[in-house]
A and B are shown apart, each in its own frame.
Chain A
Amino acid sequence: MARKTFLRRNRYFDSVFLMQVARRIAAEPGIAGASALLATEANRRLLAGMGFAEAELAGAGPNDLVLALEGEEAAVEAAGAALDAWLAPAAAPAGAPAPRSLAEALRERPDCSLAVISVPGEHAAREARAALEAGLHVFLFSSNVSLQDELALKLEARRRGLIVMGPDCGTAYLGGAGVGFANAVRRGPIGMVAAAGTGMQEFACLVHRAGSGISNGIGTGGRDLADAVGGLSAFAGIDALEADPDTRVIAVLAKPPGPATAAALEARLGRCAKPSVLCLLGADPRPGRAGDLDEAARLALEAAGLEAPAWLRPDPGALRALARARIRDLAPGQRRVRGLFAGGTLCYQAQALFRAAGLEVHSNAPLPGMPALADPARSVAHAFVDLGAEQFVAGRPHPMIDATLRRARLEQEGRDPEVAVLLLDFILGAISAADPAGDLLGAVRAIQAARGGRICIVASVCGTDEDAQGRRGQIEALEAAGVLVLPSAAQAAAFCREAALLLGEVR
Chain B
Amino acid sequence: MAKTLVELLQSPPVVVNVGVRAFADSLRPVCVVVHVDWSPPAGGDARMAALLDDLL
Contact = CB atoms under 8 A, between A and B. Distances in A.
Interface of A: 10, 12, 14-17, 61-63, 90, 93, 97-102, 104-106, 108-109, 111-120, 122-123, 126-127, 129, 131, 135-137, 141-142, 160-163, 174-180, 182, 215-216, 218, 236-237, 239-241, 243-244, 246, 401, 430-431
A431 B20 CA distance: 10
A98 B37 contact: yes
15 contacts: A16-B21, A61-B44, A106-B16, A109-B32, A113-B13, A114-B14, A114-B15, A115-B15, A115-B17, A116-B23, A123-B41, A174-B8, A175-B13, A176-B30, A237-B5
A129 to B, nearest CB: 8
A433 to B, nearest CB: 11
Contacts of B26: 178, 180, 182, 430-431
A99 B37 CA distance: 6
B15 to A, nearest CB: 5
A182 B30 CA distance: 12
A176 B12 contact: yes
Contacts of B34: 99, 105, 108-109, 112
A63 B42 CA distance: 11
Contacts of B16: 102, 105-106, 109, 112, 114-116, 131, 136
Contact of A114 (B1, B13, B35, B40): B13
Contacts of A109: 14, 16, 32, 34
B36 A137 contact: no
A284 to B, nearest CB: 32
B22 to A, nearest CB: 5
Given A63-B44, A100-B38, A240-B6, 5 more contacts: A16-B22, A17-B21, A100-B36, A141-B23, A174-B12
B18 A10 contact: no
Contacts of B39: 10, 12, 100
A236 to B, nearest CB: 6
A216 B6 CA distance: 10
Contacts of B24: 116
Contacts of A115: 15-18
Contacts of A108: 34
Nearest to B2: A135
B6 A113 contact: no
Given A105-B34, A113-B13, A114-B13, A63 B1 contact: no
